[in-house]
């Protein structure tokens, strides 16, 4: 795993620059040859979560039972920047979504932070600590971030200077739009009740199937890519069409019969039973008189 820092992106605090968060999941990095950036960003996420856990211990006064949340946030932000600190804390909220110690305010704040990783990946950098203290950190980081952004300074970017970004091919444009749509859906799913998730399971499965299929670039030609790019939400359009096909149960009976025949093959007869069957199936042989009968 390559852990070299990523190229710096923008000043976050006092002119200091921090490596940016890689804004795509693993499958995207694998598809477009960006695994080095993905692993480097994920390693920094993990190190940030570990550092937050240690800072919680170092800045907690056990005698007074009080956390110096401001000191924790300053220590972490000085090392990792606001962007990554908030990203890791938001991921921690979703990991502990079942815990009532995470306030509703923190949950609502976490929804404003984009999640780029799959759930099994983001669990790797959830902060390990007391959720009451983690909730205090979230309140503190919101406060400190607001102060840091006021007055907000404008960074001159390449776009401001008239530089054009390198053009994306059609498939990459489609993949980016589909991934953005999926992340919107995912943000809504995490807030649904168990009953609502069960009722919407087919729709969710169709979106996930579409995302996985399209990520591998299978079975779609350039003309198909161009057509999908004309649609307002290509991911939803493909998923809806796939869902219609899944709702067609015309082949269900055939598939069921095929499964049952495979699981219940005819019982194999014993050797004796096979011989009896063979004898019964053979026609009777013509009677041939023996020698004594001929003499008579």
Is the distance from CB of 51 to CB of 137 less than 8 angstroms? no
**What confidence score (pLDDT) does residue 79 get?**
93
Torsion of CA 204, 205, 206, 209, to 10 degrees: 130
Is the distance from CB of 19 to CB of 8 less than 8 angstroms? yes
**What confidence score (pLDDT) does residue 269 get?**
59
Distance between CA atoms of residues 82 and 75, nearest Å: 11
243-250 — which CB contacts under 8 Å span 24+ positions?
A: 243/202, 243/203, 243/206, 246/202, 246/206
CA distances for 263 relative to 71, 256, 257, 258, angstroms: 64, 11, 10, 9
**What confidence score (pLDDT) does residue 227 get?**
82
Distance between CA atoms of residues 277 and 288, nearest Å: 24
Phi, then psi, of 17 in degrees rounded to 5: -110, 145
**What confidence score (pLDDT) does residue 25 get?**
84
Per-residue DSSP letters for 248-281? --TTHHHHHHHHHHHHSPPPPPPHHHHHHHHHHH
**What confidence score (pLDDT) does residue 224 get?**
80
**What confidence score (pLDDT) does residue 219 get?**
59
- Residue ranges in the chain whose pLDDT is less than 70: 1-16, 119-120, 122, 150-168, 216-219, 247-255, 262-296
pTM, to two decimals? 0.53
């Amino acid at each position: 795993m390559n852990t070299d820092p990523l190229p710096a992106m923008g000043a976050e605090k006092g002119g200091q620059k921090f490596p940016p968060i890689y804004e795509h999941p693993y499958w995207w990095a694998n598809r477009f040859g960006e695994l080095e950036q993905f692993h480097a960003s994920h390693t920094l996420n993990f190190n940030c979560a570990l550092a937050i856990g240690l800072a919680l211990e170092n800045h907690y006064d056990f005698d007074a039972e009080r956390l110096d949340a401001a000191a924790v946030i300053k220590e972490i932000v000085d090392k990792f920047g606001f962007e990554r600190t908030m990203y890791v804390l938001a991921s921690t909220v979703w990991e502990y979504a079942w815990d009532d110690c995470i306030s509703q305010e923190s949950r609502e704040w976490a929804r404003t932070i984009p999640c780029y990783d799959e759930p099994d990946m983001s669990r790797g950098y959830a902060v390990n600590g007391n959720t009451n203290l983690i909730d205090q950190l979230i309140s503190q980081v919101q406060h400190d971030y607001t102060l840091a952004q006021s007055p907000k300074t404008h960074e001159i970017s390449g776009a401001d200077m008239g530089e054009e970004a390198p053009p994306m091919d059609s498939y990459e444009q489609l993949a980016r739009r589909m991934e953005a749509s999926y992340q919107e859906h995912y943000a809504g799913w995490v807030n649904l009740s168990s009953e609502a998730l069960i009722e919407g399971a087919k729709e969710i499965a169709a979106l996930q199937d579409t995302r996985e299929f399209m990520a591998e670039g299978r079975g779609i030609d350039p003309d198909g890519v161009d057509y999908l790019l004309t649609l307002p939400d290509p991911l939803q359009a493909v998923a809806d069409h796939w869902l219609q096909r899944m709702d067609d149960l015309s082949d269900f009976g055939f598939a069921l019969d095929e499964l049952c025949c495979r699981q219940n093959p005819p019982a194999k007869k014993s050797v004796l039973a096979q011989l009896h069957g063979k004898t019964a199936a053979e026609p009777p042989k013509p009677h041939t008189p023996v020698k004594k009968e001929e003499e008579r």
